Every structure is written in structure tokens, then in C-alpha cells.
Amino acid sequence: MTKTLYWIADTTGAKAIVEGADERDTWTKVRGWAETTEPVAGELVWMQHEEHGGRAQFDARVVPDWEHLGWNVSSPPEPVDLTKDPTLVDQPPAEAEPVAAKPVKRAASGADKE
């Protein structure tokens, strides 16, 4: 049985297509997208290249021109979880080497002078 295709849109209006109610619900109920109508000229559509897997947004009016070049209407890219990126997450502080204590010299005050 073939799953139903649903059009969804993000908060900027860019549209994408997802397959099945479970996928639609994940994008609309968890990730803040909304179910919408098919795109028309002037609206952006997510597409994915069948060979290299790259994704990009195209104006809906040029979708047919890009399909014969290997680009197909697709679901949006998965969100990036920046909390799992080791280059962006705060690293624990490194163990500091203890600094040797230097002897303290007392300052001579006027009261100590004869």
C-alpha cells in the first residue's frame, strides 16, 4: 500500500513533501511546520538531488526544469542538534597545573623604620 503524500510549510513559507501521516505529524506537531497546499510559482520548495543527496530550495515554477537534472521534490533536511556538535558545545575546563607559591616580601612601612 502506498503512503499518502502531504505538503508541509515552515514558518517562512518554504514547502516540502513528506510521505505518510507519521512523518507529517512529526514535522507538524513536533517541529513547528504546518500542513499546506501544493506550491505555486513564487513559493520555495525543498528539493534533493538523487545522486549526491544535496538539498536546496527552488522556486516552484522551476521544479520541472530541475527534475530532469536529478533534483526531486523532497522532505526538508533534518534539523541540526547543535547541543551534540563538539565544536559548539562548551567543553569541560582543562585541569590547571597548580602554581608554585612565591615568597611574599613584606613592604617596609614608616612605623618599622628607626
DSSP class per residue in 44-61 = EEEEEETTT--EEEEEGG
If you compute the radius of gyration of the chain from its CA atoms, what whole number of angstroms results? Answer: 29
Alpha carbon distance 56, 65 (integer Å): 14
Answer whether 0.85 is exceeded by the pTM.
no
Number of H helices, E strands in the chain: 2, 6
Task: State residue 25's pLDDT score.
Answer: 96
Query: Tens-of-pLDDT digits for all 114 residues of the chain?
Result: 678 999 999 999 999 999 999 999 999 999 999 999 999 999 999 999 999 999 999 999 999 999 999 999 999 998 888 777 777 767 677 777 777 777 777 777 666 555
Give the Cα separation of 13 and 40 in Å (integer). Answer: 11
The confidence score (pLDDT) of residue 57 equals 97
The pLDDT value recorded for residue 84 is 78
Yes or no: say if 10 and 18 are a contact pair by the CB < 8 Å rule: no
Tell me what pLDDT residue 112 has: 56
Please give the DSSP secondary-structure letter assigned to residue 5.
Answer: E
